[in-house]
Amino acid sequence: MDDLVKLAWLLHISTLIFFTGGMIVSPIISPFALSLGADAIIIGLLSSITSMVTIIIRPFAGLIVDRGKRFETLMLGTALNCAAAIIYFLSNNLWSFAFGRILSGLASAFFMPASISTAIDLSPVNRVGETLGWRSTMFGISQLLGPGIGGYLADLMGYRNTFIINFLFVFTALIIIYFTSRMVPKDIVKHRGNSNGFKDIKRLLKLNFIGSMLAVIFYSMAMSGVWAFLPAYYVSVGLGTATYGLFSSINGGASIVTRATSGRIADKHGSIPVASIGAIIITLGYIILSVFPNPPLVYVVAILVGVGTGLWVPAIQLLALGDLPPEIRGFGSGIYSMAFDAGFMIGPIIFGFIIESSGSYLSILWLLPILTFSALLIVQIVGLIMRRSHDKHLTAKM
């Protein structure tokens, strides 16, 4: 067990480095697109194209994971991200930049389901939520470090050189994943005999899984509006890339406080209460953002959304994936992750058209709390139905 925990932490570290590389470039994707001649609609499409690719590939990636190719899938996703960083560096027009975004989508499609599934496989019994919480904490730390570093580097050394730093981080993650794969016991990653490919979709059609996906779609749509357009807004009003970098870093730092504890609390008290509290705090943050989008009060928003996200992410993952059989965890993780992709695919396109028609980046902000409140309502409805079903089952036994 101790050996598996150590391997899980090697995986967590590689996840941290992988996400930090991505977060380094997150403040500069839309400003770099602006420098290549993009308008708000094009920025929205460039943000969505990654998710368009990912949403198609994720289920296939999950099936590969369930065939025992967990670490191979992780390494493929990481290698594709390295390639995307090189393409970004070489891009001199929107077409080549779009190709880089496609590679980023492929990288995410392969990396995410393999990462979630393998983390669960290496988790001690009855501590899945805690393990997912620590994995989520790695993302929070990357969000704390990456955007601030990326915004500073972009202002100091330019967009293109920042993409090289991205490459170095992701390549380091690839090396760690490779050596971790050499130490994992074969019975952890071997092919699971009961997997039936896409026929297993019927085993996922449960209320907790479907409800979680619907909630994540609304949550990620709101997040996509912030990620895709807040950096461009700050650049357009002369605040520079470092402003969003600081916002995102504060957001990630605040989320660290709650990510690991969220999973542990959800293990003991249930995922729905924890996810609901997270959604409430996020909604409050977005309400404030719609009124106060500029510094310094926007950093209060960053704290609230970060704390709420730290509660929401591990809890909603546990609600969706915690009771899945081992032989379909990769496939289930891939299908579940499609909800996040769907939100990031739909949101920027809708927001881009709203911004283009209104002429203001701020015109989308009032939609964000509505979306996250919708996610909260879905989780509450799922909880209500599950409680009633449980009560009926107990009554029938009596």
For residue 397, what pLDDT is reported? Answer: 59
Is the pTM value of this prediction over 0.85?
Answer: no
Q: What's the mean pLDDT when you consider all of the chain? A: 86
Look at residue 36 and give its three-state secondary structure. Answer: coil
Q: What is the pLDDT of residues 107-157, one digit of tens each?
A: 988 998 888 778 777 776 666 777 777 887 887 788 778 877 887 888 888
pLDDT of residue 199: 64
Q: Over the stretch 31-74, which tens digit does the pLDDT of each residue have?
A: 888 888 888 888 878 877 887 888 888 888 878 877 778 889 99
What is the reported pLDDT for 187?
A: 62
How confident is the model over 1-20, as a mean pLDDT? 82
The answer on pLDDT for 283 being more than 90 is yes
- Mean pLDDT, residues 283-307: 96
User: What pLDDT score was predicted for residue 374?
Assistant: 97
263 pLDDT higher than 70 = yes
Rounded Cα gap, residues 137 and 252, in angstroms: 9
Q: Is the separation of the CB atoms in 337 and 112 below 8 Å?
A: yes
More confident call, 289 vs 180: 289
**Band (215; pLDDT cuts 50, 70, 90):** very high
Residue 106 pLDDT > 90, yes or no? yes
Residue of 306, 317, 311, 316 lying closest to 255 (CA atoms): 306
294 backbone dihedrals φ, ψ, rounded to 5°: -105, 160
Is residue 165 pLDDT above 90, yes or no? Answer: yes
The whole-angstrom separation of Cα 248 and Cα 301 is 10
Span 345-396, pLDDT tens digits: 899 889 989 998 999 999 999 999 999 999 999 999 999 998 887 656 555 5
Range in 5-9, 295-299, 304-308 the model is least confident about: 5-9
Q: Of 23-27, 241-245, 289-293, which one has max mean pLDDT?
A: 289-293
Tell me how far CA of residue 52 lies from CA of 106, 155, 347, in angstroms. Answer: 10, 30, 12
- How far is residue 213's CA from residue 198's CA, in Å, rounded to a whole number? 18
pLDDT confidence bin for 190, thresholds 50/70/90:
low
Dist. CA 219–CA 177, nearest whole Å: 30
Closest by CA to 307, choosing from 252, 270, 264, is: 252
CATH superfamily of 2-187+202-397: MFS general substrate transporter like domains (1.20.1250.20)
The SS3 assignment for 122 reads coil
Q: What is the pLDDT of residue 325?
A: 78
Res 216 pLDDT > 90: yes
What mean pLDDT comes out for the span 279-307? 96
> pLDDT, tens digit, for every residue of 78-104?
999 999 999 999 999 999 999 999 999
pLDDT at residue 350, rounded to an integer: 93
- DSSP structure string for 196-245: -GGGGGGGG--HHHHHHHHHHHHHHHHHHHHHHHHHHHHHHTT--HHHHH
Half-sphere exposure for 97 (CA within 13 Å, toward CB): 23
